[in-house]
Amino acid sequence: MNVSPVRIVFAITLWLLLMMGASAHYIWHWLQAPQTISLEQDIYIVERGASLNSVAFDLHKQGMMRWPRVWVLYARLLNLSNIKAGEYSLAEKESPLSLLARFQTGEQIQYHITLVEGRTLKEFIDALHSHQKLKKELQDLNYQQIVETLGLSIDHPEGYFFPDTYQFVSGDSDKDILLRAHLKMNEVLHTEWQNRQGGLPYKTAYEALVMASIVEKETGVAHERRQIAGVFVRRLEEKMRLQTDPTVIYGMGDSYTGNIRRKDLKTPTPYNTYTNHGLPPTPIAMPGREAIRAALHPDYGDNLYFVAKGDGSHHFSSSLEEHEEAVQKYQRNRRSDYRSAPPPPVSPEPLPLDEKNSEVGANNE
* pLDDT at residue 340, as a whole number: 35
Residue 220 banded pLDDT, cuts 50, 70, 90: confident
Domain of 300, in residue numbers: 199-331
d(CA 256, CA 261): 10
* pLDDT at residue 349, as a whole number: 36
Residues 171 and 76 in one domain: no
* pLDDT at residue 21, as a whole number: 65
Count up the domains in the chain and report the number.
Answer: 3
Mean predicted lDDT score pLDDT of the chain = 86
Domain termination residue (choose one: 191, 213, 242): 191
The count of C-alpha atoms lying within 13 angstroms of the C-alpha of 240, restricted to the half-sphere facing its C-beta, is: 20
Residue 336 banded pLDDT, cuts 50, 70, 90: very low
Residues 205 and 227 in one domain: yes
* Alpha-carbon 30 to chain mean position: 44
* pLDDT at residue 351, as a whole number: 37
Average pLDDT over residues 118-124: 96
CB 111 within 8 A of CB 131: yes
Judge whether 66 lies within some domain: yes
Residues 99 and 131 in one domain: no
Average pLDDT over residues 326-349: 52
Judge whether 362 lies within some domain: no
Residue predicted with more confidence, 344 or 181: 181
Q: Calculate Rg over the CA atoms of the chain.
A: 32
Average pLDDT over residues 108-128: 95
pLDDT at 135 over 70: yes
Residues of the chain with pLDDT > 70, as a percent, come to 84
CB 245 within 8 A of CB 345: yes
d(CA 238, CA 144): 35
CB 70 within 8 A of CB 100: no
Torsion of CA 218, 166, 149, 107, to 10 degrees: 180
Residues 98 and 115 in one domain: no
Judge whether 120 lies within some domain: yes
Number of residues written out for the chain? 365
CATH number assigned to the domain comprising residue 44 = 3.30.1490.480
Average pLDDT over residues 145-159: 95
3-class DSSP state for residue 315? strand
pLDDT at 365 over 80: no
The string of pLDDT tens digits covering residues 156-176 is 999 999 999 999 998 899 999
- Give φ, ψ of 113 to 5 degrees: -145, 140
pLDDT at 194 over 80: yes
Residues of the chain with pLDDT > 90, as a percent, come to 59
The string of pLDDT tens digits covering residues 223-279 is 999 999 999 999 999 999 999 999 999 999 999 988 889 899 999 999 999 999 999
Residues 100 and 153 in one domain: no
The string of pLDDT tens digits covering residues 47-96 is 888 999 999 999 998 888 888 999 899 999 889 988 988 899 888 888 99
Residues 238 and 262 in one domain: yes
Helix (H) or strand (E) holding 183: helix 174-194
Judge whether 31 lies within some domain: yes
Residues 233 and 276 in one domain: yes
Judge whether 4 lies within some domain: no
* pLDDT at residue 4, as a whole number: 73
Residues 257 and 280 in one domain: yes
